[in-house]
Amino acid sequence: MIPVQGFEGQTVAVLGMGRSGLAAAAALQEGGAQVVVWDDGPAGRDAAAAAGYDLRDMTTTQSFDGVTALIVSPGIPHLYPAPNPAIAAAWDAGVPVDNDIGLFFRSFATADWDRFDVTPRVVAVTGSNGKSTTAALIHHILIENGRPSQLAGNIGRGVLDIDPAHDGEVIVLELSSYQTDLARALTPDLAVLTNLSPDHLDRHAGLGGYFAAKRRLFAEGGPDRALIGVDEAEGQYLANQLIEGADDDRVIRLSSGRKLDGPGWSVFARKGFLSEYRKGRQVGSIDLRPILGLPGAHNHQNACAAYGACRALGLGPKGIEAAMKSYPGLPHRSQLVVERDGVRFINDSKATNVDSTAKALQAFSKIRWICGGLQKDGGLDGLLPHLDHVVKAYVIGREAEAFARQLAGADAEICTTMDVAVARAQADAKPGEVVLLAPAAASFDQYDSFEKRGDDFINCVMNATS
């Protein structure tokens, strides 16, 4: 645990008693704060009471008398589509609002670091797609090369739940826009933006607000080095804002699909080959095609980001390549479940939006595609250019028929439930084809999370008869 600094003897309120809220409350107490908590749901309040915390309804200005700060869990809206009543009450009371990420960055460094030979470092990864894989891959490469590392944030452990840093350790954080948007301290040593595509638009009042939340990771603390995916205009804009000149290697540009060979530092992948350029010269390359844990162009983009981060941390190309070859992939992210009778079953339940699903569809040919769920804003038009790899779609979800109607030109069968979709796809599939779960939608119409949806897919696949 990371004891929170700066609140000893003060009363701090925590809103939201999920994983991050409970960890924040414990870390605040460990640092000497008096903690009061609240959750809008009875289950959260019951969990807090069971953990021994004092409950206080924070929906009135008076409830913040004597409170120094309000710490908010990432799932709770603080501005759009409307501020949570407790957050609005904190504003009225003049109480600063922060989150666990802000607490982490103000508390991670301690006096113990004075005796370390190598100062610990923090790598923070954000983006619309690929940030989980990128963060996990960086962590894997570091461990495989003998560098101590912990993985936390939106993946793995909560940021305040990790162990205090060791000499030379690298903390790898995956941070969502919900986490970067509110944190009052954001000071990573390396910051990574994988890419940007429309997502969580209701929470950020549009794409501009969403990009602004991501941009805070680079603008607020000024990382020593920034790695920016420049395949979208927003990434090009951000990279340009951060440089002092064309040869400024504090910014590493990343791309999947186009060559970057200018005077600065860049890492890109084309046709399955990763290349590193510095000052106009190639200084490293990796053939990514045989790496089973990183299939498809979208994973090659993740590989570029992880490679660049590890190079910035001082690792050599050969050590990075060897570690990539042993990377097993993440559950629910292009995860090979089984190969049966020449048919591969791939679980990409994390593909919850159009952009990530489009990348999944490009990664394989001859796809039996299981899709559908709680559709996000913007429709499915972005998928239409990528349906040429789809032999047939098997649509699940409560609104499966409406979802299927948008897949113009595709052979689509309404299945509604996962067990029916898996059974139909397996019965139809021929050797050399892929049965791919890549929903292009959120899970909440039928499942508590994308993980639960992916687990159901795996169970249906493993229980199906060949």
Q: Is 329 annotated to bind ligand?
A: no
Q: Is 308 annotated to bind ligand?
A: no
Q: Is 129 annotated to bind ligand?
A: yes
Judge contact between 154 and 136, C-beta under 8 A: no
267 — phi, psi (to 5°)? -135, 125
Q: Is 132 annotated to bind ligand?
A: yes
Beta strands per DSSP E along 79-169: 97-98, 121-126, 149-153
- What are the residues facing 371 on neighbouring strands? 395
Q: Is 131 annotated to bind ligand?
A: yes
Q: Which residue bears the tokens 């003049």? A: 94
Q: Which of 417, 370, 429 is CA-nearest to residue 394?
A: 370
Judge contact between 192 and 142, C-beta under 8 A: no
Report the alpha-carbon distance of residue 99 to residue 429 in Å, rounded. Answer: 47
Side-chain-facing half-sphere of 218: CA atoms under 13 Å? 27
Rg (CA), the chain: 23
Q: Which of 21, 18, 17, 15 is CA-nearest to residue 69?
A: 15
Quote the distance between the C-alpha of residue 191 and its chain's center.
Answer: 13
Q: Give the DSSP per-residue string, 231-280.
A: SSHHHHHHHHHH-SSTT-TTEEEEEESS---SSSEEEEEETTEEEEEETT
81 — phi, psi (to 5°)? -70, -15
Provide the annotated binding site for ATP. Answer: 127-133
User: Annotated binding site, which residues?
Assistant: 127-133
